[in-house]
Amino acid sequence: MRVGVHTSISGGLANAAHRAHEIGCDSLQIFSANPRGWHESQPSAEGCRKFCEARASYKLLPLAIHANYLINLAAADPVVRIPSIAGFRRELQRAVSFHAEYVLLHPGSAKNGSRSSAVKRFAQSLLKAAKGLQLDGLTVLIENTAGQGSLLGATFEELAKILTGIQQEVPAGVCIDTAHSFAAGYAIHTPRGLGETVRQLDATVGLRNVRLIHANDSKAAFASHVDRHHHIGKGWIGLEGFRRIVRHPKLRAIPFICETPVDKPDDDRRNVEMMRRLAGSGKRQASRWARGSGQEGIGKV
């Protein structure tokens, strides 16, 4: 199992790779710039080179770039949609310069319009953003959502429609978030519910298109449509729920990325450790990390 965390790029791009390696990751996710503003600084060629060298030396694979939260390619309002298209194009360009495998984004909102029209606008906007770019192995991943308000992509059926609209033009797949799936009403916390969820996912999106899993427990209740991430095993999905997820024969080969909170120092390390313990891999190394952080008793497994 390959597991990583969303890692900060503060202090320089290469620091993200160093941090990921230090806490035991073998994959990672980053923001390529400020995720909550349109005026982002562009990385230098030297910064990109150092990051790529560090990542290669640690064998961190895959690298996922999470797109700016402000991007809404499905927006009916051109005041929102036009800067979203330009912003996502910059995300693609930076991801190519980082030699990333994936750039992922949320499908946006159908506010003030029909969902079917919003799905079409999303595809049109994404293809416009990617027009003329050489993606050099980069794949666009669409992330499922909890379905709060008018957000698109809470059902696998709608996610499949979104994917179909772009897949013939650009390399594309999906990222499935466990907390979002749970909050959207997929009962992944029970043995029967997980089996049915995987069956539905394969019948709609296709498991071959699931390239990444965001491993997040949920502070929000089942089918609440509220997006609130929690530490692995500490939320409503729970330890046994995650044990089944990471050991599921159709999921365990997919890379997992934790987007869990950092409430205390070393929380990222503990969440990576927990994922490995639940998967039954790297136990000796996980025990060493636990002793070093003073967290030997975290989450009895």
Count the Cβ atoms, other than its own, within 10 Å of residue 264: 10
Catalytic residue among 177, 217, 267, 268: 177
The reply to whether 102 belongs to the active site is no
What gap in Å lies between CA 66 and CA 48, rounded to an integer? 17
The reply to whether 227 belongs to the active site is yes
The reply to whether 69 belongs to the active site is yes
Catalytic residue among 217, 227, 267, 268: 227
DSSP per-residue letters across 165-190: TTTTTS-EEEEEEHHHHHHHT--TTS
Catalytic residue among 46, 53, 69, 136: 69
The reply to whether 214 belongs to the active site is yes
Q: Which of 18, 184, 26, 163 is nearest to 104 (CA)?
A: 163
What gap in Å lies between CA 116 and CA 134, rounded to an integer? 29
Residue ranges in 26-173 assigned as alpha helix (H): 45-58, 78-97, 115-130, 156-164
The reply to whether 230 belongs to the active site is no
Residue that is written with structure tokens 């202090």 in the block: 11
Catalytic residue among 143, 158, 217, 268: 143
Name every residue whose Cβ is closer than 8 Å to that of residue 209 and which is 6 or more positions away in sequence: 163, 167, 172, 173, 174
Q: Which of 194, 210, 227 is nearest to 102 (CA)?
A: 210
Catalytic residue among 106, 121, 243, 276: 106
Catalytic residue among 121, 214, 269, 277: 214
The reply to whether 180 belongs to the active site is yes
Catalytic residue among 21, 66, 270, 277: 66
The reply to whether 106 belongs to the active site is yes
Catalytic residue among 196, 202, 240, 259: 259
The reply to whether 189 belongs to the active site is no
Catalytic residue among 229, 231, 243, 270: 229
Which residues carry out catalysis? 36, 66, 69, 106, 143, 177, 180, 214, 227, 229, 259
